[in-house]
Structure 1
């Protein structure tokens, strides 16, 4: 049998490419028609595999700031190490935002890509479910681990008062380096090193604890509507109340728990004193969550 000519090989290669492209288009169309929870599950899984592959080959994740220019980036935004901080985590977007206090309000300093988190969208409920927590947490010096097996880490403080009120169990849920996760948020070693520098300087500079707000996704009305029929939707609507407080005031809301629900007080009323999440049903200036 004669060997295929170069033109034949090119035609076959082109045909294979067209078939692959068609399959990708069909796959994308099929995913787009799926219900939001199923579609997001597929997309999250694809992101995990892609990010783990990038990390395993030593490549920076998309969206990683220039970690060699921390001082310059701070100067460009008129910020400095040692000022109070706040963090927000968005699971579906694989992002961790770090805010720093400037002129009486928290301004975004950097958005870091998350390499990996485990489980699905939704809160952690019990030990062994491999879920990464969602909710409001505070971190102080006692939560820091400079000798972590994942390079550097800090404990989110799960379970907090809200989690305990719901009988949720688990421990050692961290933000750490590397790109492996069983209920944690893995940031890669270079990224956690920069975050660590900012965190330790803030706590050494007088901030007693900083707030970490963990969300399933950006808490827009549109995103919530896509999940309105899900059992977890009421919990997420409660989280949105705290999210909205910060969006409006750019100050961490005071967070409490009453009747097994988060309650929030505007940071503008509490003078930006970040305290731990506590069980309280005090009336007056405490505003019950919506939903």
Structure 2
């Protein structure tokens, strides 16, 4: 039977049982220095927040208009995610709306995952996001959709998500730890606004008032946002043959 979905984001996260997160090989000198600096601090922060250490599953979501990036954690697939920390996004290029071509300075909007750990970034450390995904490819300029979208340090951007050097060190180490625990798929959801923030939502409404296509798109994003807000669990999201996000499993 032909499937309705060209692409499927399986938000099922697998994890192992390795306990000694620093007893690992393959780190660069710069990464090891960041681990030595940040691991104990993170452990203490988890203890203060009554969270189990080390985290085994990580979920990242960002809100463009609100200038925030949230870090959620949990240790089993059955328990809800718990908010660990919120970082400020220190700069934003472009405007509300998804990225549609190379050089448009837009930060993407949609559902992604970490696909690169870069300790040699020009922006201190960086975590790559798998833009363009299958939805983006349907709508973007096929010859030049753009790419190289990162969460990174410093405070400059041409379409990425900068959170300064100390926060990116923390997040980079934490993402590395859950990867060593077995989580190969770290989801990153990028929303135009925090839909529960009345002021931000008003800004979004002004953008979609004369743009029915963008209104439909933000409705797709809001469905996933609303589900997570209610249950603190991630639904499985598919992308149909017209690039539309669909929640297919709750």
TM-score normalised by the shorter chain: which range applies? 0.7 to 0.9
The equivalent residue for 1:97 is: 70
1:236-289 alpha-carbon deviations (Å, 9 max, x no partner): 1110011112112212221211132101134xx4xxxxxxxxxxxxxxxxxxxx
The equivalent residue for 2:105 is: 130
The equivalent residue for 2:244 is: 261
Deviates more, 1:106-115 or 1:218-227: 218-227
More helix by share: 1
Asked if structure 2 preserves the Cα contact closer than 8 Å seen for 1:211 and 1:252, the reply is: no
| Whole-angstrom distance in 2 between the partners of 1:229 and 1:221 | 18
The equivalent residue for 2:209 is: 229
The equivalent residue for 2:82 is: 107
| Whole-angstrom distance in 1 between the partners of 2:104 and 2:84 | 33
Deviates more, 1:226-235 or 1:187-196: 226-235
The TM-score with structure 2 as length reference comes to 0.74
Q: Is 2:153 the counterpart of 1:177?
A: yes
Q: Is 2:54 the counterpart of 1:81?
A: yes
| Whole-angstrom distance in 2 between the partners of 1:207 and 1:118 | 31
| Whole-angstrom distance in 2 between the partners of 1:233 and 1:221 | 17
In structure 2, the residue corresponding to 1:153 is in which secondary structure? strand
Residues 74/199 of structure 1: CA separation in 2 closer, same or farther (3 Å cut): same
Asked if structure 2 preserves the Cα contact closer than 8 Å seen for 1:82 and 1:204, the reply is: no
Residues 187/82 of structure 1: CA separation in 2 closer, same or farther (3 Å cut): same
Cα displacement (A) at 1:225? 4.6
Deviates more, 1:71-80 or 1:233-242: 71-80
The equivalent residue for 1:39 is: none
Asked if structure 2 preserves the Cα contact closer than 8 Å seen for 1:67 and 1:190, the reply is: no
In structure 1, the residue corresponding to 2:81 is in which secondary structure? strand
| Whole-angstrom distance in 2 between the partners of 1:105 and 1:85 | 11
The equivalent residue for 1:285 is: none
Higher RCO, 1 vs 2 (CA within 8 Å, ≥6 residues apart): 2
Residues 197/67 of structure 1: CA separation in 2 closer, same or farther (3 Å cut): closer
> Aligned Cα RMSD in Å?
2.1
Q: Is 2:167 the counterpart of 1:200?
A: no
Runs of 4+ in 1 over 3 A off after TM superposition: 66-69, 224-228
The equivalent residue for 1:7 is: none
Residues 226/67 of structure 1: CA separation in 2 closer, same or farther (3 Å cut): farther
Q: How many residue pairs align between the two structures?
A: 200
What runs of 5+ residues in structure 1 fail to find an aligned partner?
Answer: 1-65, 270-291
